[in-house]
Amino acid sequence: MPHDVTTPTPPFRSADDRFEVHQIPAMQDNLVWLIVCRATGAAAVVDGPSAKELTPYLEARGIALRAILNTHTHGDHVGINHDLARQGRLEGLDVFGPAQKAAQVPGLTLGVGEGDTVRVGALEGRVWLTEGHMDGHVSFVFGDVIFCGDTMFGAGCGFLFDGPPAKMHASLERIAQLDPATKVCCAHEYTLDNLRFAWSVEPDNPALEARIRASRAIRARGESTVPSTIATERESNPFLRHHSPTVRATVAAAFDDRVLETPLDVFAATRALKDRKDYRAISDAELPG
């Protein structure tokens, strides 16, 4: 099956000019990220279902892979480790992944968790424990870019496999406190589906309406909506909109048995409502744009 993204986001530089970020679409909707240190040329890949797309990308550009950063251990994130191991190319790489799931990260050289740092050439990334999708899930913060795996998505958040809602809520709220210009490099191109749900819970949000129009045009061209920014997520990601009276009213109407007092209550109900998938009945014609 071809990838949803046929024209990836072009490589971009961090605000401090110290590294480049490359987006490599893989499988159907995975987004593999490559961080390249400009001072040393050292490169690290963040997650990936396989090495199939990465290897020719590196070879074509003469980029030397030095490290793998794994956010969590689902198959479409550590598949790349398995692949490189089979090819005998994992040896010698730094592999940084969740300490809590060390046994499930092939080639792991350093298990990481909250407060740790990882090195890629001359770069140093901060590690945050961002659970909710899966226990042990970590995010990597380099300068003005966060690689957050399956925690925050464009206009959405990861499925709560391990949960509980309180952990995902805390992870999202923490990420949302990053500088508004921070780029959000998540691991999947799920934005349009997420926006359809967002529209179902907050149709009176003009920022959301504008984002839907823009994202539909981007995707119609086969381009990627990722990365977004923290500013964009704060104004239109339904899982950060618990203060919106419209979101509160919509989820309250959907669940008459739920107490909706705290931001966490509203987040949990919003996540549960998305899981019901009622919003998928909304046709394109009903969406802005």
Residues classed as catalytic:
72, 74, 76-77, 133, 150, 188
- 278-285: long-range contacts, CB 8 A cutoff, minimum separation 24: 278/200, 278/254, 279/196, 279/197, 279/199, 279/200, 280/193, 280/196, 282/196, 282/199, 282/200, 284/216
Sign of CA dihedral 196, 240, 172, 143: positive
Closest approach of Zn ion to the CB of residue 125, in Å:
20
Closest approach of Zn ion to the CB of residue 119, in Å:
25
Which position's Cβ is nearest Zn ion?
74
Cα(108)–Cα(200) distance, integer angstroms: 42
- If the CB atoms of residues 22 and 101 are measured against Zn ion, the closer one turns out to be 101
Of the candidate spans 29-37, 143-151, 167-175, 271-279, the one that interacts with Zn ion by CB under 5 A turns out to be 143-151
- If the CB atoms of residues 74 and 183 are measured against Zn ion, the closer one turns out to be 74
Out of 3, 22, 66, 74, point to the residue binding Zn ion (CB under 5 A).
Answer: 74
Closest approach of Zn ion to the CB of residue 168, in Å:
12
Cα(8)–Cα(118) distance, integer angstroms: 26
Closest approach of Zn ion to the CB of residue 110, in Å:
21
Out of 150, 193, 209, 233, point to the residue binding Zn ion (CB under 5 A).
Answer: 150
Cα(98)–Cα(134) distance, integer angstroms: 10
Q: Is 131 in the site for Zn ion (CB under 5 A)?
A: no
- Taking alpha carbons only, the member of 218, 231, 137, 149 closest to residue 183 is 231
Closest approach of Zn ion to the CB of residue 133, in Å:
6
How many CA atoms lie less than 13 Å away from 289 in the CB half-sphere?
A: 21
- If the CB atoms of residues 158 and 227 are measured against Zn ion, the closer one turns out to be 158
Of the candidate spans 60-68, 69-77, 237-245, 257-265, the one that interacts with Zn ion by CB under 5 A turns out to be 69-77
Rg, the chain, Cα only: 19
- If the CB atoms of residues 150 and 265 are measured against Zn ion, the closer one turns out to be 150
Q: Which residues bind Zn ion (CB under 5 A)?
A: 74, 150
